[in-house]
Amino acid sequence: MNTIGLVAFALVGATKAIREEFDMFGVTVVGLATAFAGGMARDILVNRVPLALNSPIEIGLGLFGVGLAIGVSAALKSADTHLVTLLSDAIGLAAFTTTGAIVATQADIPAFGVVAIATINAAGGGAVADILLDRSPFILLDDFYASCAVLGGSTYWIVATAGGSNGTAAAVCAAVVVGTRIAALIYGWSIPTAQVLGLTRE
Amino acid sequence: MNTIGLVAFALVGATKAIREEFDMFGVTVVGLATAFAGGMARDILVNRVPLALNSPIEIGLGLFGVGLAIGVSAALKSADTHLVTLLSDAIGLAAFTTTGAIVATQADIPAFGVVAIATINAAGGGAVADILLDRSPFILLDDFYASCAVLGGSTYWIVATAGGSNGTAAAVCAAVVVGTRIAALIYGWSIPTAQVLGLTRE
Amino acid sequence: MNTIGLVAFALVGATKAIREEFDMFGVTVVGLATAFAGGMARDILVNRVPLALNSPIEIGLGLFGVGLAIGVSAALKSADTHLVTLLSDAIGLAAFTTTGAIVATQADIPAFGVVAIATINAAGGGAVADILLDRSPFILLDDFYASCAVLGGSTYWIVATAGGSNGTAAAVCAAVVVGTRIAALIYGWSIPTAQVLGLTRE
């Protein structure tokens, strides 16, 4: 799970940085930050030592994703909004939501915390990448992205609490995230703003 | 103390995000981040496990503040600069300065650290909210905001060191923060820039 | 080492904030953040308690650097791009790369981690300062800055692994960083973007 997520998110982050004309060092840093920031935030929140820096294999996977991003950017126009990148992103989102939910459940964190940590693990990398690219994290604007992680994390918790095995919970969680994310892309789902809901005066 | 601060800051942060037309998910995240970021930074700095994610009650208080923000935005024009919001903010600032000073004192941190942690606890949430809203943290620009927390934290340390009880120190600290913040709003206090002080050449 | 870095980076960060017309409180915060953020990130990553807040001496050094920045800004035109500031920055970069490499080596972290932590220690302060100043961290754009820390950290690891004493490794590391940084400034080195390398389609 984690392996897929690392490669997919490094690919997505590096592709965005290439589009913004960051230099190759910056591209590598944004790619690695996208891949690792969510997991590090999770580790700090559940009080584990962030292990990524101790793991040459994980770093290698991140660098592999950055390499893929360079290849994809060379091969495709508008690589950062291409189907390949969007699918990688959906898969990475699912992989990290599941990893986050598993780690939080093992750390004996209650329901809300499991969902929050799964969401932070999944969406944190993208949010950090956006801050490095000097824009508001897109997940907070009108989109249906982190919400997929919220749904997936909730599903994991429900299945695990209902007595499902970890494997079952993980599989259902990943399926929910990928499914809702792809549906959101196809049908253009978004969460309304207070303005759209008529909840503001101006 | 902490209870008041959580509700007040979630209200303030969510109101700002509504103004910026973030979607309802983003509004919730910015509200919760404003309420919890300062306390989490404090916990990491004094090496406590950030407890917010383990506490359904605190999360509930934060969500209650977000709900209030939606109500306030529906009821008032320009809710983010309305008197209600500014007063909530002053009260939240006082509550979190006091909480930060108490926690830092209990952790046996010396004078400068007590003031720094009280200030980070109080102003950190607003700074994180501003970064999420993609602007420079307003506390660093010409305003008199974090300075109230610095004055309050210093007062707490002086009263506690002079032999005052924790309760006395907390009450005086909160009063100093609310008083200076309201005075700053009424009289338009601000800290000068180096340019205003004639300290630069151009 | 650390002493020099703290003063130099507080000077550099505060000078930038003065240029951006932050108020004196903001100037102090950006100066201290530039000086301490890299070291704090390092401490959190190697699971040490961030010690800066417990150390009145280190805080004093940071404030001394902020004071120097005010003096330099009063004395020089365009202080933030003046030779004095650029040299301070190069010296701070070398000092913090070396400190980071020493701490990471003592924490028994493998090769990639030593280089990563040395780089984060050295470049993290500047990156945080840029986020506070609401711009993309310059180290990720076309420049040759963090790369000096990568080269220095790698050198430290190679010398230490080859049997050199800590003192030797530190001296060689610092020399490499200052040397490459000054050369980069003189000759205008920069790392190419994917666009320059012809790796993108548009």
DSSP one-letter string for A108-153:
T--HHHHHHHHHHHHHHHHHHHHHHTTS--GGGSS-SSHHHHHHHH
Task: Provide, as residue numbers in chain A, all residues whose Cβ is less than 8 Å from the Cβ of B23.
Answer: 140-143, 190-193
Q: How far is CA A147 from CA A86, A118, A140, A181, B110, in A?
A: 16, 11, 10, 9, 43
CB contact under 8 A, B202 and C78: yes
* pLDDT score for A141: 63
pLDDT of residue C176: 94
| Six-digit token string for B179 | 């008083």
pLDDT of residue B168: 92
> What pLDDT score does C93 carry?
92
Q: What is the largest CA-CA distance in chain C?
A: 54
Q: Inter-chain contact A199–B132, Cβ cutoff 8 Å?
A: no
Which residues in chain A are contacts of C109 at CB distance < 8 A? 53-54
pLDDT one-digit tens code per residue, C13-44: 998 888 888 888 888 888 998 998 888 888 87
Those residues with Cβ within 8 angstroms of residue B57's Cβ, 6 or more apart along the chain or in another chain: none
pLDDT at A98: 94
> How many angstroms away from the CA of B24 is the closest CA of chain A?
5
ipTM of the complex: 0.71
pLDDT digits (tens, 9 = 90+) for C90-121: 999 999 999 999 988 888 888 888 888 899 89
- The residues, ordered by sequence, that sit 6+ positions from B45 with a Cβ below 8 Å of its Cβ are B117, B120, C50, C53
pTM of the complete model beyond 0.80:
no
Q: Are B149 and B119 in contact (CB under 8 A)?
A: yes
Task: Specify which residues B201 forms β-bridges with.
Answer: C77
Q: For B41-94, what is each residue's pLDDT tens digit?
A: 888 777 676 666 667 788 889 999 999 988 888 888 777 778 888 888 899 999
Residue A191: strand, helix, or coil: coil
Residues on C contacting A at a C-beta cutoff of 8 Å = 44-45, 47, 109-113, 116-117, 131, 134-137, 139-143, 146-147, 150, 190-195, 197, 199-202
- pLDDT for C4: 87
- Cβ-Cβ contacts under 8 Å, A202 against chain B: 77-78
SS3 label, residue B183:
helix
Q: What is the pLDDT of residues B13-40, one digit of tens each?
A: 998 888 888 888 888 888 988 998 888 8
C-alpha dist (Å) from residue B75 to A94, B19, B85: 39, 13, 12
**Shortest CA distance from C148: residue in chain A:** A25
Q: What pLDDT is recorded for position B20?
A: 83
The whole-number pLDDT of residue C138 equals 66
Q: How far is CA A177 from CA A2, A118, A139, A188, C112, in A?
A: 15, 11, 15, 16, 33
- In this complex, which chains have at least 3 CB pairs below 8 Å with chain A? B, C
Q: How far is the C-alpha of A22 from the C-alpha of C26, rounded, in Å?
A: 28
CA A160, CA B169: separation in Å to the nearest integer?
47
Q: Which pLDDT value is given to residue B25?
A: 84
Q: Which has the higher per-residue pLDDT, C173 or B44?
A: C173
A50 neighbors A44 (Cβ within 8 angstroms): yes
d(CA B136, CA B127): 8
Q: What does the alpha-carbon distance between residue A28 and residue A100 come to, in Å, rounded to a whole number?
A: 24
**Model confidence band, residue C188 (pLDDT cutoffs 50, 70, 90):** confident
Residue that is written with structure tokens 């049997």 in the block: C163
Position C86 pLDDT exceeds 80: yes
Is the per-residue pLDDT at C53 higher than 70?
no
Best mutation target, B131, B135, B140, to test chain C (most C CBs within 10 A): B140
Average pLDDT, 10 consecutive residues per value, chain A (202 residues): 86 88 86 88 75 76 90 80 85 92 86 87 85 72 80 93 89 93 86 74 56
The confidence score (pLDDT) of residue B152 equals 93
Question: What local confidence, expressed as pLDDT, does residue B145 receive?
Answer: 85
Banded model confidence at residue C133, pLDDT cuts 50, 70, 90: confident
Q: Inter-chain contact C21–B195, Cβ cutoff 8 Å?
A: yes
Both ends of chain C: CA-CA distance in Å? 47
Say how many CB pairs under 8 Å bridge A and B.
82
State residue B77 phi and psi, 5-degree precision: -80, 150
- Please report the pLDDT score of residue C20 as a whole number: 83
What residues does each domain of chain C span? 2-187
Q: Which residue has the higher pLDDT, C186 or A136?
A: C186
Of the listed ranges A183-187, B130-134, C66-70, C169-173, the one predicted with least confidence: B130-134
Rounded CA-CA distance A135/A17 in Å is 12
